[in-house]
Amino acid sequence: MRLPAPLEHLQRRLAQAWHERAVTLKAASFALVGVVNTVVDYGVFLAGYYLVDLPLVPANVLAWLVAVSGSYVMNCYITFAAESGRQLRWRAYGAFVASGVAGVITNTAVLVLASRWMPVPAAKLLAIAASFVVNFSLSQNGRANDEASDSPPLRRPRTMRRQMRDDENLTAERPTFVTHLECSASGARYAADELHNLSREGKPLLVHYDLGGVKKALSKEALTRRPRDLWRYRELLPVRRARDIVSLGEPLTPIVALPRLAKTCAAGEILVKDESRLPTGSFKARGLAMAVSMAKALGVAHMAMPTNGNAGAALSAYASRAGIKTTVFCPADTPEVNVREIALQGATVYRVNGLIDDCGKLVAEGAAKVGWFDTSTLKEPYRIEGKKTMGLELAEQLGWELPDVILYPTGGGTGLIGMWKAFAELEAIGFIGSKRPRMVAVQATGCAPIVRAFDAGAEHAPRWEDAHTIAAGIRVPQAIGDFLILRAVRESGGFAIAVTDEAITAAIDEVARAEGLLLCPEGAATYAALTAALADGRVGRNDRAMLCNCATGLKYPLPASERTLDRSRPIDFAAL
Ligand SMILES: Cc1ncc(COP(=O)(O)O)c(C=O)c1O
Structural contact between residues 399 and 188, judged by C-beta atoms closer than 8 angstroms: no
DSSP string over 185-200:
TT--EEESSS---S-T
Summarised one tens digit per residue, pLDDT across range 100-134 is: 778 788 888 888 888 888 888 888 888 888 887 77
Mutational test site, ligand 1, from 474, 482, 519, max ligand atoms within 8 Å of CB = 474
- Whether pLDDT at 311 is above 90: yes
For the chain, give every domain's residue range. 5-154, 383-555
Question: How many other C-beta atoms are found inside a 10 Å radius of the C-beta of residue 526?
Answer: 29
Q: Does the pLDDT value for residue 39 go beyond 70?
A: yes
Mean pLDDT on 343-356: 97
Q: Give the distance (Å) from ligand 1 centre to CA of residue 526.
A: 12
Q: Whose alpha carbon is nearest atom 5 of ligand 1? A: 473
Q: Is 387 helix (H, G, I), strand (E, B) or coil?
A: helix
d(CA 473, ligand 1 centre) in Å: 4
CB of 310 within 6 A of ligand 1: the answer is yes
Work out the mean pLDDT of the chain and round it to a whole number. 89
pLDDT tens column, 63-97: 888 876 666 666 666 655 555 443 445 666 677 67
Mutate to test the pocket of ligand 1, among 439, 522, 527, 549 (most ligand atoms within 8 A of CB): 522
pLDDT reported for residue 151: 33
| Beta carbon of 526 within 6 Å of any ligand 1 atom | no
Model confidence at 8, in pLDDT bands (50, 70, 90)? low
Q: What b/e readout covers 88-127, taking b as 16+ CB neighbours within 10 angstroms?
A: ebebbbbbbbbbbeebbebbbebbeebbeeeebeebbebb
Ligand 1 centroid – CA 311 distance (Å):
8
Nearest CA to ligand 1 atom 9: 412
Percent of the chain residues past pLDDT 70, beyond the cut: 86
The beta strands (E) that lie in 389-525 are given as 405-409, 438-444, 495-499
Q: Phi-psi category of 115—alpha, beta or left, where left has phi over 0 and alpha has psi -120 to 50?
A: alpha
Atom of ligand 1 nearest to the CA of 411: 11
In 3-state terms, what secondary structure has residue 379?
A: coil
CA of 258 to the centre of ligand 1 (A): 22
Pocket flag, ligand 1, residue 213 (CB < 6 Å): no
**Is the minimum distance from the CB of 131 to ligand 1 under 6 angstroms?**
no
CA angle (11, 17, 20) in 5-degree steps: 145
Ligand 1 close to Cβ of residue 386 (< 6 A): no
Atom of ligand 1 nearest to the CA of 282: 1
Tell me if 482 CB under 6 Å of ligand 1. Answer: no
CATH number for the region 383-555 comes to 3.40.50.1100
Q: Indicate if the pLDDT at residue 325 is higher than 80.
A: yes
Report CA Rg, the chain: 29
Mutate to test the pocket of ligand 1, among 274, 310, 439, 442 (most ligand atoms within 8 A of CB): 310
CA 412, CA 77: separation in Å to the nearest integer? 50
Ligand 1, atom 2, residue with closest C-alpha: 473
- How confident is the model at residue 85, as a pLDDT? 41
Beta strands per DSSP E along 140-195: 178-183, 189-191
Using most ligand atoms within 8 A of CB, pick from 282, 328, 382 the residue to mutate for ligand 1: 282
Give the residue whose CA is nearest to atom 16 of ligand 1. Answer: 473
| Each residue's pLDDT tens digit, 130-172 | 887 777 667 555 554 444 433 333 344 444 456 788 889 999 9
Cβ 473 under 6 angstroms from ligand 1: yes
Digit-coded pLDDT (tens) for 505-561: 999 999 999 999 999 999 999 999 999 999 999 999 999 999 999 999 999 999 899
Lowest average pLDDT, out of 23-27, 171-175, 294-298, goes to 23-27
pLDDT at 210 over 90: yes
In angstroms, what is the span from residue 307 Cα to ligand 1's centroid? 10
414 lines ligand 1 (CB under 6 A): yes
Ligand 1 pocket check for 474: Cβ under 6 Å? yes
For residues 515 and 443, the answer to whether their CB atoms sit within 8 Å is: no
Encode burial over 459-477: b for 16+ CB neighbours within 10 A, e otherwise.
eebeebeebebbbbbbbbb
How many Å lie between the centroid of ligand 1 and the Cα of residue 431?
28
Q: What is the mean pLDDT of residues 226-249?
A: 97
- What single-letter amino acid sits at 253? T
pLDDT at 24 (0 to 100) = 61
In this predicted model, what pLDDT tens digit does every residue of 401-417 receive, in sequence order?
A: 999 999 999 999 999 99
**Least confident interval from 29-33, 262-266, 437-441, 565-569:** 29-33
| Ligand 1 center from residue 415 Cα (angstroms) | 8
Atom of ligand 1 nearest to the CA of 284: 16
Q: What mean pLDDT do residues 208-229 have?
A: 96
Question: Which of 284, 339, 383 has most ligand 1 atoms within 8 Å of CB, for mutation?
Answer: 284
Query: Ligand 1 centroid to 159 CA: how many Å?
Result: 42
Which pLDDT belongs to residue 281?
97
Distance CA 75, CA 85 (A): 15
Atom 7, ligand 1: which residue's CA is nearest?
411
Is the pLDDT reported for residue 6 higher than 80?
Answer: no
pLDDT for 315 equals: 98
